[in-house]
Amino acid sequence: MHKILKDGVEAASILWRDFIWLVTAILLVRPAFWAADDAFGHVPHSPLLGIAFYIGFMLLCVTAHELGHAVAGSLMGYRIHMIVVAAAGYRPPVRKFQYIFLTDSGDFGGYVFGTTPTLKNWAKRNAIFFAGGPLANLLLAAALFVAARNGAGDALKGVVANLALVSLVIGTQSLVPYSSRNGKSHSDGAQLLALMRGKRISAEENRASLLQGLHLDGQDATLWDDRVVAEIESGEVESDWRAFRDHMLLHRYLAFGDLQKAKRLLEKSDAVKDGTLPSLTIEYAFLVALLDGDAGRADDLLGKAPDDACEKDFSFLRAKAVVHAIRGERDRAIAAVADARRIAKEEHRPLDENENALFLAIEQGRALPRQWQRRQAA
């Protein structure tokens, strides 16, 4: 496509999303203020009450929407990594809440991030996952309308009916097809439409999602699902994700104490060849020094690390200590170990048994341990 045309389409797409969200935000104003009137009609009119209802209603309905996705996904065999409503994120696998700076998403006011272990026959399940959010809003709206009709007390009836309206608006707007500002997230309507048109998630996209999921779960790398790791190891990922894939796999192999596998991974890594991720180059230098005893090559690799890494980076100092130890420069090796220990302490990063054994061997001038133990799961 011609560049100007492409830029135009991109700008129009962003305008479209902003327009939909603006209309949504405006449509929620009246029900919120009506509900405030219904609830506190006798109190002199205060816009603050309306705003409070506006925020409360919106949070309730966005929560219902995101829980709808999460429940539908879980029922379909998704692993739900993150549920976000406004600024609050919840990570079910580790049962942790965290602050999220939400700037861009497919859903109005939140999102759910889930992964599927495989791509086979998942189009229908994907559709149910995407439909779960809007469906939750529509069901909630229906239930609230019925409650408002049959319930007692005019004030409460008014509040409930207006909450139903808000849920209806949020559910309906999510079915309008649009994309997020960065073009990477899409509304539920856009996802469902794409699925109906036969678009499927590619294996590369799926692997990228699995990587993000593993990273987000943040659990001990020895606890990762073997099938997921095998899926990531066996296939290609798009170039944007390669450095990250290598980083994650390295983390896994080191957790298992498999230094040879870690070294083979980095030997083939584009990120090490291009120097796109200095931390990988530093780890590779460390493994070259420790396993091959090649201090010269390791030092060359360390020379590619950015200058500010040299004094402050634990991995850099650890690699440097091994290089000095191999060259028989014992004082310098011991100094590097001392620096590495200090950094670990400052960063509240306790040394594991492998690191301890290595550092002790350097300090005591013994042969360096070339075998690592599997890290104990926390």
In whole angstroms, how close is the CB of 324 to Zn ion at the nearest point? 55
Q: With contacts defined by CB under 5 A, name the span among 14-22, 150-158, 186-194, 283-291 that binds Zn ion.
A: 186-194
| Residue whose Cβ sits closest to Zn ion | 133
In whole angstroms, how close is the CB of 68 to Zn ion at the nearest point? 8
Q: Which one-letter DSSP state was computed for residue 218?
A: -
In whole angstroms, how close is the CB of 172 to Zn ion at the nearest point? 12
Q: Within positions 104 to 123, which residues make up the interface with Zn ion, using CB under 5 A?
A: 107
Tokens representing residue 339 in the block:
């620096």
In whole angstroms, how close is the CB of 77 to Zn ion at the nearest point? 19
Long-range contacts of range 13-21, CB-CB < 8 Å, 24 or more positions apart? 13/178, 13/179, 13/183, 14/181, 16/178, 17/178, 17/179, 17/180, 17/181, 17/187, 20/173, 20/176, 20/178, 20/187, 21/108, 21/173
Of the candidates 355, 334, 333, 354, which has an alpha carbon nearest to the alpha carbon of residue 344? 355
Instruction: List the alpha helices (DSSP H) in 218-258.
Output: 226-234, 239-255
Binding-site size for Zn ion (CB under 5 A) equals 4
In whole angstroms, how close is the CB of 52 to Zn ion at the nearest point? 25
Site string for Zn ion, 122-141 (x = CB under 5 A): -----------x--------
Q: Within positions 288 to 347, which residues make up the interface with Zn ion, using CB under 5 A?
A: none
In whole angstroms, how close is the CB of 90 to Zn ion at the nearest point? 16
Distance CA 335, CA 145 (A): 72
Of 37, 38, 188, 313, which one interacts with Zn ion (CB under 5 A)?
A: 188
Nearer to Zn ion, 162 or 174 (CB): 174
Distance CA 118, CA 256 (A): 24
Query: Is residue 181 a contact partner of residue 17, using CB atoms and an 8 Å limit?
Result: yes
Q: Is 24 in the site for Zn ion (CB under 5 A)?
A: no
Q: How far is CA 255 from CA 78, 154, 268, 343, in A?
A: 26, 62, 20, 20
Nearer to Zn ion, 37 or 188 (CB): 188
Residue 157 CB partners (closer than 8 Å, separation 6+): 38, 148, 149, 151
Q: Within positions 149 to 178, which residues make up the interface with Zn ion, using CB under 5 A?
A: 174
Q: With contacts defined by CB under 5 A, name the span among 36-44, 187-195, 238-246, 278-286 that binds Zn ion.
A: 187-195
In whole angstroms, how close is the CB of 171 to Zn ion at the nearest point? 9
Site residues (CB under 5 A) for Zn ion? 107, 133, 174, 188
